[in-house]
Structure 1
Amino acid sequence: MEAISEDDARMQSTRLPLRTLLAAAAGALSVLAIPPFSLLFVVPLAFSTLFVMVQGISAWRALLVGWSFGLGQFGFGISWIAESFYVDAERFGVLAIPSVAGLAAVLALFPGLAVALFAQFKRLTSGRPLASSLLLATCWFGTEWLRGHLLTGFPWNLAGYTLVEYDALRQPAAWIGSYGLSFIVVFAGALPGAAFLAEKQARLKSLAVVGIVVLAVWAAGTVRIASDAPAAPGIDLRLVQGNIPQGEKWEPGSRERTLTRYLDLSDRPGKFDLLLWPETAFPGFLDEDAAARSRIAGAVPEHALLLTGAPDRVETDDGSLYFNALQAYDSSGRILAGYAKHHLVPFGEYVPLSDWLPLERMTEGLGDFAPGPGPRTLALPGAPLVAAAICYEIIFPGHVIDAEFRPDWIYNATNDAWFGTSIGPEQHLASARMRAVEEGLPVVRAANTGISAVIDATGAVLERLDTGTTGIIDAPLPGARAATLYSRFGDWTSLVLIATCWIFLGGITAVGARPKGHVRKDECG
């Protein structure tokens, strides 16, 4: 880490508490830039404040300032997780606040690392606003990508999601993904702060660059929306949102009430080709329950199909394996295909290091769920190819579909009843919308409650049912677009973008550094 003088260290220590408090406030403020708030003007306020707070301090102190920003960001941004602990308050309620606080503190290490790296290397930028902002955005990109991949990964509320509600501005995710979009957001958000600290001439140039970046992103997105409009495949959907309270779902005797509600909703007048029930809509082993399948068959018209979430189990020599699954049935009640969730929720669906940690998982069941083999495309008779993503899996950029067997749409079966009427379901929906843009595929989201939606390949929500609503959505399946650049090359496209920005900056810096008025000898008269 960079060495500093004793006087500088004393000055930094004196101002450090104020810096950390302001950084924490900026981090909490940044949450207002993402759904359900989507206040875009908050982006420069939050990231420019962070930029200013980290000036003139060592990398170690910058780590604390960045961690404070992250603590404010995640402390507010994922506060909704506490709701899940109160579903079974008698067993888990006491853990709600310490668990959320602990998770926020761990996640805050990633912004802390980004800011520490920025502070360590910012002297190489010579204080130039463009270079300094670009460095912070690059460090943020790297640590945000790590957050999405390290251990099990948790890419929730990425900086790029501040653009979800803006049709044109979210479209570059089709080329550079959500992490690349985060790079652009942090760069543009920090640049006003860098300009504030710069000389007047550099300040005006920096603010002009912000305008150019925003205009370029908007123009590129507008062109994408207007071009390559896909044709609908002619498939009618019915999404069913049963709105079963999570606290009642697994109670003894509740299975009959749950099944009856889903059957009644499915049997409403209307025509559909695909009937979509959400994650664990049937609270039992449906493939083992012939009577239930027979009743369900009565709600599925001839030639139509049902896709439903249901637990599954497989007997092995070592005992039973349990899966959180999605299963497809025809109108006779015959199972056609299945998919097992591969990206499981720690402590919700399994307990990490369960041999050493004396903890219970929060979901009901006979044991920990086992992970499936990975993303899978289901080929079903009379239906477009579909990629299955169960609940939490939809939050992972680039890890939702089988790249070798490209589907025509993504079905996200989920259950956000765990999180009540908090901001969590809106944030979850934002992730689903970004996957639609990145992959160029429509995403259909059926939730037990909050939020069922039909999303087209540009990330636009065509139909939705809000949290706490019991009902159905009848809608046509939107068409798929051609495979996007991001779907073909993944996060490599972001690296190309970042490298190009640095090369371009190096080029204009070199041109600007050439001596003025220099005349070659052969030009003298």
Structure 2
Amino acid sequence: MRRLLLPTLSGVLYFLSWIGFGVWPLAFVCFVPLLWSLRDATPRRALWLGAWMGFVTHLGGYTWIMHVLQVFANAPLPLAFAGYLVLCAVQGLLFGVMSYVLVWMGRRTHWPAAALLPIALVATEFGYPLLFQSYTGIALMPVLPLVQIAELGGTLILSALQAVVNGALFDALEAWRFGKPAPVGAMMASLISLLGSATYGYVRLVRVEHVERAAPKVSIGLAQPNVGELELHENPLASVRTLQDETAELHARGAELVIWPEVGFNTRPLRPGDTDGRTIIGGVPVAAIIGAIRVDGRKVWNSALVVDDRARIGDHYDKIQLLAFGEYIPGGEWFPELYEWSPLSSPLARGQSTAPLRWRSWRFATFICYEDILPGIVRSIMADHGEGRAHAMVNLTNDSWYGAGHEQEQHLMLAAARSIEHRRWLLRATSTGISAFVNATGRVLQRIGRNQRGVALAEVPMLQGTTPYQLLGDWPGWVALAIIAGAALREAARAREHGAEKMPAR
């Protein structure tokens, strides 16, 4: 048990530093106890020590999982708690794989932790599959000057920055404890990374805000009805009537376009040939992007649609990345009775198009629910589909499933990183919070809090241009994997040479 003390401490420091608790300075020291516990560990032992740290990390940061399982799967509390433990273990194994890679590479390269930790962390965050995607570097989102480098390499480059500092601190601590020469190179790399990121960030903050001021603007409103999923099923009109009233209020205040949350219009599905949107927005002469269910034959989609200011239904986007156990159950196509055990889960079809929604001469890259935390999908939607890249990003979400924990804030901050990666405003409408305007620097300018009914209105700049991240994607992940592959190939070549030397001469 004593061996688990340091990984436990790292897990606690990690979730305290992350979004929710938000003690972000701890992000620069949270891996140091784990690294100390790995000093003499074998790769196999490192796997379990790192996995324990990841388990503790998720225990503290993902308590809302129990509420999700109780609501989604109708699970009793003991079963929901068991599912929470399993999910924490599976997601936490990411740090076990990271620790295994770190120790394996350290034994073969003898590089300092300031080099090993960013390589191992970035490679595993890039390659390890997660049900709920998260990135270590999101802990730095409250420090806007540091996170502007996300336009260069996405959230992975933020994780790398955090890892370099943690690794350098461990290298310095180890050198002090055992009387080794000071790790000047590691400390300089850490200092240069921090100062370089902050300097770049300050310059880009000024430049991006200047571009925003000069861009043409559209008056856009967000409507949050504060009607949760259970109430939507029990009283379908509750959400629609509230949203129609809020749309009228926003129109009276000058809104040209109003954003509704995910499946905000839920009184009936929309079918092919539906073109009249007057019953949707209640006759208010304003354009809207609304969440609704679309049906065509046996196919059902979770969709976003444009209704113009003449109440004509236009473009639609169908959700592509469906949420397991909510919008489909793995294996449900073979065992339909699974849906009887989870009555709020629905077998939905996946969308096929990533084209933006068009309104007037503007384009809106639109994604639904947790698609906004998936950089790859957002990047594909933000691509040029022949008419130019989208001018702004829209997210329709229903976070009422997640209870009163940290999920809503975590979701918002993970989504806000997309604004930096693509230098576009994010217009985020949710059913019960947190709806928000996020500008192109990742700053949350306005928000409607959790469990509140309300509206927000802003003059949104219609931005153009691209970023290195939009063009190159998650290149830090590929670089990290290439370095690990290079080390593995070199080790294999050495093993062949060693085996050849041992072969007897004939």
TM-score, structure 1 as length reference: 0.83
Distance between the aligned counterparts of 1:464 and 1:439, measured in 2? 21
Please name the residue that 1:162 is paired with: 139
- Which of 278, 281, 291 is matched with 1:294 structurally? 278
Distance between the aligned counterparts of 1:357 and 1:48, measured in 2? 48
Amino acid at match of 1:283: N
Shift of the 459–160 alpha-carbon distance from structure 1 to 2, 3 Å rule, reads same
Distance between the aligned counterparts of 1:45 and 1:282, measured in 2? 46
The Cα of 1:180 is off from its aligned counterpart by: 2.0
Distance between the aligned counterparts of 2:248 and 2:144, measured in 1? 35
Distance between the aligned counterparts of 2:429 and 2:417, measured in 1? 17
The Cα of 1:379 is off from its aligned counterpart by: 2.0
- Which of 22, 43, 64 is matched with 1:59 structurally? 43
Distance between the aligned counterparts of 1:293 and 1:403, measured in 2? 29
Shift of the 452–297 alpha-carbon distance from structure 1 to 2, 3 Å rule, reads closer
Distance between the aligned counterparts of 2:90 and 2:18, measured in 1? 21
Please name the residue that 1:257 is paired with: 238
Amino acid at match of 1:376: A
The Cα of 1:106 is off from its aligned counterpart by: 0.9
User: After the TM superposition, which of the residue ranges 438-447 and 221-230 deviates more from structure 2?
Assistant: 221-230
Kept in 1: contact 2:306–2:357 (CA 8 A): no
The Cα of 1:100 is off from its aligned counterpart by: 1.5
Equivalence map 1:70-219=2 (5 Å): 70-87=54-71, 91=75, 93-126=77-110, 131-147=112-128, 150=129, 153-154=130-131, 156-198=133-175, 199=179, 201-203=181-183, 206-219=186-199
Shift of the 363–433 alpha-carbon distance from structure 1 to 2, 3 Å rule, reads farther
The Cα of 1:205 is off from its aligned counterpart by: 5.4
Kept in 1: contact 2:416–2:442 (CA 8 A): yes
1:378 to 2:357 alignment: yes
The Cα of 1:209 is off from its aligned counterpart by: 3.7
Equivalence map 1:233-312=2 (5 Å): 233-251=216-234, 254-268=235-249, 269-287=252-270, 293-301=277-285, 304-312=286-294
1:20 to 2:4 alignment: yes
Cα deviation code 1:63-112 (max 9, x no counterpart): 11010011011222222122223336855544321112111111122210
Amino acid at match of 1:335: I
The Cα of 1:313 is off from its aligned counterpart by: 1.1
Amino acid at match of 2:433: G
Provide the identity percentage.
Answer: 28
Kept in 2: contact 1:175–1:486 (CA 8 A): yes
1:422 to 2:401 alignment: no
Q: SS at 1:312's partner residue?
A: strand
* Structure 1: runs of 5 or more not aligned: 1-16, 504-525
Please name the residue that 1:341 is paired with: 319
The Cα of 1:43 is off from its aligned counterpart by: 1.8
The Cα of 1:307 is off from its aligned counterpart by: 0.7
Distance between the aligned counterparts of 2:282 and 2:26, measured in 1? 52
* Structure 2: runs of 5 or more not aligned: 487-506
Distance between the aligned counterparts of 1:163 and 1:295, measured in 2? 44
Q: SS at 1:323's partner residue?
A: strand
Shift of the 239–496 alpha-carbon distance from structure 1 to 2, 3 Å rule, reads same
Distance between the aligned counterparts of 1:79 and 1:374, measured in 2? 34
Kept in 2: contact 1:349–1:363 (CA 8 A): no
Q: SS at 2:327's partner residue?
A: coil
Please name the residue that 2:205 is paired with: 225
- Which of 283, 293, 300 is matched with 1:322 structurally? 300
Kept in 2: contact 1:286–1:293 (CA 8 A): no
User: After the TM superposition, which of the residue ranges 393-402 and 62-71 deviates more from structure 2?
Assistant: 393-402
Q: SS at 1:62's partner residue?
A: helix
Please name the residue that 1:520 is paired with: none
Distance between the aligned counterparts of 1:154 and 1:79, measured in 2? 15
The Cα of 1:19 is off from its aligned counterpart by: 2.4
Kept in 2: contact 1:176–1:494 (CA 8 A): no
Shift of the 111–444 alpha-carbon distance from structure 1 to 2, 3 Å rule, reads same
The Cα of 1:208 is off from its aligned counterpart by: 4.4
Please name the residue that 1:390 is paired with: 368
Distance between the aligned counterparts of 1:155 and 1:495, measured in 2? 21
1:492 to 2:492 alignment: no
Distance between the aligned counterparts of 2:15 and 2:148, measured in 1? 21
Distance between the aligned counterparts of 1:374 and 1:69, measured in 2? 39
Cα deviation code 1:17-43 (max 9, x no counterpart): 322232033113201212233322212
The Cα of 1:376 is off from its aligned counterpart by: 2.3
Distance between the aligned counterparts of 1:410 and 1:114, measured in 2? 33
The Cα of 1:377 is off from its aligned counterpart by: 1.2
Distance between the aligned counterparts of 1:428 and 1:209, measured in 2? 32
Shift of the 392–363 alpha-carbon distance from structure 1 to 2, 3 Å rule, reads farther
Shift of the 205–290 alpha-carbon distance from structure 1 to 2, 3 Å rule, reads closer
Amino acid at match of 1:348: G
User: After the TM superposition, which of the residue ranges 386-395 and 478-487 deviates more from structure 2?
Assistant: 478-487
Distance between the aligned counterparts of 1:412 and 1:100, measured in 2? 27
Higher RCO (C-alpha 8 Å, min separation 6): 2
Distance between the aligned counterparts of 2:148 and 2:309, measured in 1? 39
User: After the TM superposition, which of the residue ranges 39-48 and 163-172 deviates more from structure 2?
Assistant: 39-48
Kept in 2: contact 1:164–1:170 (CA 8 A): yes
1:434 to 2:417 alignment: yes
Amino acid at match of 1:173: A
Shift of the 22–292 alpha-carbon distance from structure 1 to 2, 3 Å rule, reads farther
User: After the TM superposition, which of the residue ranges 349-358 and 28-37 deviates more from structure 2?
Assistant: 349-358
Shift of the 479–19 alpha-carbon distance from structure 1 to 2, 3 Å rule, reads farther
Kept in 2: contact 1:285–1:312 (CA 8 A): no
Kept in 2: contact 1:390–1:412 (CA 8 A): yes
Shift of the 374–418 alpha-carbon distance from structure 1 to 2, 3 Å rule, reads same
Amino acid at match of 1:476: E
Distance between the aligned counterparts of 1:419 and 1:169, measured in 2? 30
1:480 to 2:463 alignment: yes
The Cα of 1:386 is off from its aligned counterpart by: 0.6
Q: SS at 2:146's partner residue?
A: coil
- Which of 310, 313, 317 is matched with 2:295 structurally? 313
Cα deviation code 1:36-57 (max 9, x no counterpart): 3332221233111111111101
Distance between the aligned counterparts of 1:292 and 1:42, measured in 2? 53
Kept in 1: contact 2:427–2:437 (CA 8 A): yes
Kept in 2: contact 1:232–1:476 (CA 8 A): no
Please name the residue that 2:492 is paired with: none
RMSD: 2.7
TM-score, structure 2 as length reference: 0.86
